[in-house]
Amino acid sequence: FCQTLLQTVFPPELRFATVKFFNRIFHLFSSYCYFDITEIDGVNTNELYNAVQLYLSSSVSITGSRLSLTRALNSSGFTFGLANNDSIVDTFNGVNVLWEHVVTQRQAQTFSWRPLPDEKRGFTLRIKKKDKALILNSYMDYIMEKANDIRRKNQDRLLYTNSRGGSLDSRGHPWESVPFKHPSTFDTLAMDPEKKKEIMEDLQDFANGQAFYQRRGRAWKRGYLLYGPPGTGKSSMIAAMANYLGYDIYDLELTEVHNNSELRKLLMKTTSKSIIVIEDIDCSINLTNRKNNKTGSSNYYDPVAAPEIRGACASGGEEGGNSITLSGLLNFTDGLWSCCGSERIFVFTTNHIEKLDPALLRSGRMDMHIYMSYCSFPALKILLKNYLGYDEGDLEKLLMNALEGVIDKAQMTPADISEVLIKSRRHKERAVNELLETLKSRAERNEKNGVLREKNGDQDEDEEQEKRALESPKQESEVEDNCKEEEDDEEKINKRE
Ligand SMILES: Nc1ncnc2c1ncn2[C@@H]1O[C@H](COP(=O)(O)OP(=O)(O)OP(=O)(O)O)[C@@H](O)[C@H]1O
Ligand SMILES: [Mg+2]
């Protein structure tokens, strides 16, 4: 009766104002203040929410009595979390704070551009008012840092892809991710040890170079262009880089990106400490620069990607403005947008460096051009060690000399060679002999082809010629390097192989 009376006597506005008033009074006398960290902030995913979740997972696992336990698909580890509406006390600089995980059901969905999750999740942080300044100044930074560390250490790194096209998931992410478990490392990568060392040092310099980049007013990013025939380890190199630095990989499928602004959005949603990869860039560039496409396909042309690209060309005309342009791509890597995060590595791969637009190759765009060559003798030694366990002195000198004599002429890729070795890895000696035979026959065939070519005169798609074509952009940038001449020891940038 009283309630009905109240409702009739007090109009809703007045009731609302009364509640607000009492809330005010309560907060005035309360010694605590509260911070809500919701999972979704308007339309964007709140990075802080994920960080808090991860940060708390370490302390929750020890002290919590009711935990949520999750394991991402294909992941090798579990993540503890605070159960719904549960709370935990954390201590920072001697100050106690209380975290509560608040989960409420979302009301029936009103109209929205994209579906929102059914549950509204968030953390509430309760701290004493007197500790507010102390905590906010450093606690949040501490949490972000700690969460990143935990993720890199405990969890698998992630491989992101934009295969969904332009659509976003219910949490507003354009990227889909899976745990990244590629076993390739710099130890397993067969290539010239000196070149390998140079790349590893370059990566290390980059990762430790925050102050260097800051002081020189450069965005903290680095670009690598990997080029060479298929099966020479370009993708393996990217995996090795990610494993070496502990970075996530964003594998950008350009054929799924419809226009420049979509490309920008994708970039904005990448996190720092990541490698952004565009494979087979020559195929993707042809997507819009169709004038350059007249050269047609060649023996390295990716047969899987080809129909897709042709389809994309047919649907998205360059005049319609509905496709990515080269300048859009360059802005992506180099323009103002490329620094909307930090500590990022861009890696482009191509089988045909000569097909790339010079604008992509000019100095400063891709800091290092790395030629992934056919298997050389030092690289072969690494493969023999990795596949058969043979060390430097284990094989007879005569055999090693024979291998050394044919390896360059055979022009076999590390992928070809590992195929031979893996086939008879149970019988090591047989494997080496088979390899020698294969190398010899390949070398012979190449020599014969070479003679044939001299007779025909017009075989333009051969590796020798390609190599020469590959040299030219390199030399060009070397000249630019000399012009720049910043005599600084730290400046190991712009080294070319
Ligand atoms: N340099 C290398 N060291 C060790 N293994 C290699 C190397 N190159 C190739 N391989 C082996 O060959 C396989 C294919 O290599 P990878 O995918 O890295 O070649 P790629 O250069 O990316 O080729 P594509 O141009 O076709 O993409 C790998 O799984 C790896 O086992
Ligand atoms: Mg590859």
Ligand whose nearest atom lies closest to the CA of 232: 1
| Residue 149 belongs to some domain of the structure | yes
Examine the domain organization and report whether 360 and 342 are in the same domain: yes
Examine the domain organization and report whether 314 and 347 are in the same domain: yes
Examine the domain organization and report whether 314 and 399 are in the same domain: no
Please list the alpha-helical segments (H only) found in 181-248: 193-207, 210-215, 234-245
The model's confidence at residue 214, banded by pLDDT at 50, 70 and 90, is: confident
How many folded domains does the chain comprise? 4
The last residue of a domain, from among 321, 349, 372: 372
Q: Average pLDDT in the 187-204 region?
A: 94
223 sits in which H/E element: strand 221-227
Ligand 1 nearest-atom number relative to CA 302:
26
| Cα 232 to averaged position of ligand 2 atoms, centre (Å) | 8
- Name 123's bridge partners: 37, 101
Ligand 1 nearest-atom number relative to CA 189:
3
Q: What is the pLDDT of residues 239-253, one digit of tens each?
A: 999 999 989 999 998
CA distance 259 to 55: 37
Examine the domain organization and report whether 42 and 5 are in the same domain: no
Q: 152 or 381: whose pLDDT is higher?
A: 381
Examine the domain organization and report whether 168 and 300 are in the same domain: yes
| Residue 471 belongs to some domain of the structure | no
- Name 40's bridge partners: 45
Question: What's the ipTM?
Answer: 0.98
Examine the domain organization and report whether 131 and 209 are in the same domain: no
**Looking at ligand 1, which residue's alpha carbon is closest to its atom 8?**
233
Q: Within 6 Å (CB) of ligand 1, which residues are found?
A: 188-191, 230-236, 351, 372, 414-415, 418
| Cα 308 to averaged position of ligand 1 atoms, centre (Å) | 23
Residue type, 135: I
Q: What is the pLDDT of residues 129-149, one digit of tens each?
A: 888 887 777 888 889 888 877
The last residue of a domain, from among 90, 125, 155: 155
| Residue 362 belongs to some domain of the structure | yes
pLDDT attached to residue 73 = 64
Percent of the chain residues past pLDDT 90, beyond the cut: 27
Ligand whose nearest atom lies closest to the CA of 237: 1
CA distance 225 to 144: 32
pLDDT attached to residue 249 = 95
| Residue 480 belongs to some domain of the structure | no
Q: Which range has the top average pLDDT, 384-398, 428-442, 480-494?
A: 428-442
| Cα 279 to averaged position of ligand 2 atoms, centre (Å) | 7
Q: Average pLDDT in the 340-346 region?
A: 83
Least confident of 2-6, 104-108, 484-488: 484-488
Examine the domain organization and report whether 216 and 255 are in the same domain: yes
pLDDT attached to residue 330 = 79
pLDDT attached to residue 441 = 93
User: Is pLDDT above 60 for 292?
Assistant: no
Q: Which range has the top average pLDDT, 32-36, 89-93, 150-154, 193-197?
A: 193-197
| Residue 489 belongs to some domain of the structure | no
Examine the domain organization and report whether 143 and 173 are in the same domain: no
Taking each continuous run of H as one helix and of E as one strand, the counts in the chain are: 17, 15
Examine the domain organization and report whether 388 and 270 are in the same domain: no
Q: What is the pLDDT of residues 406-430, one digit of tens each?
A: 999 999 999 999 999 998 888 888 9
At 32 the three-state DSSP class reads strand
CATH number at residue 283: 3.40.50.300
User: Is pLDDT above 50 for 106?
Assistant: yes
Ligand 1 nearest-atom number relative to CA 349:
25
User: Is pLDDT above 50 for 488?
Assistant: no
Examine the domain organization and report whether 383 and 368 are in the same domain: no
Contact criterion met (CB below 8 Å) for 492 and 202: yes
The model's confidence at residue 22, banded by pLDDT at 50, 70 and 90, is: confident
pLDDT attached to residue 492 = 42
Structure tokens at 70: 């999750």
| Cα 302 to averaged position of ligand 1 atoms, centre (Å) | 15
| Residue 491 belongs to some domain of the structure | no
What protein residues have CB closer than 5 angstroms to ion ligand 2? 234-235
The model scores a pTM over 0.80: no
Examine the domain organization and report whether 409 and 441 are in the same domain: yes
| Residue 465 belongs to some domain of the structure | no
The model's confidence at residue 351, banded by pLDDT at 50, 70 and 90, is: very high
Range of the domain at 11: 1-27
Q: Average pLDDT in the 105-124 region?
A: 69
CA distance 94 to 102: 25
Burial of 284 per CB tally in 10 Å (0-12, 13-18, 19+): buried
Least confident of 31-40, 194-203, 315-324, 379-388: 315-324
| Residue 111 belongs to some domain of the structure | yes
Examine the domain organization and report whether 172 and 185 are in the same domain: yes
The last residue of a domain, from among 135, 155, 175: 155
Q: 491 or 239: whose pLDDT is higher?
A: 239
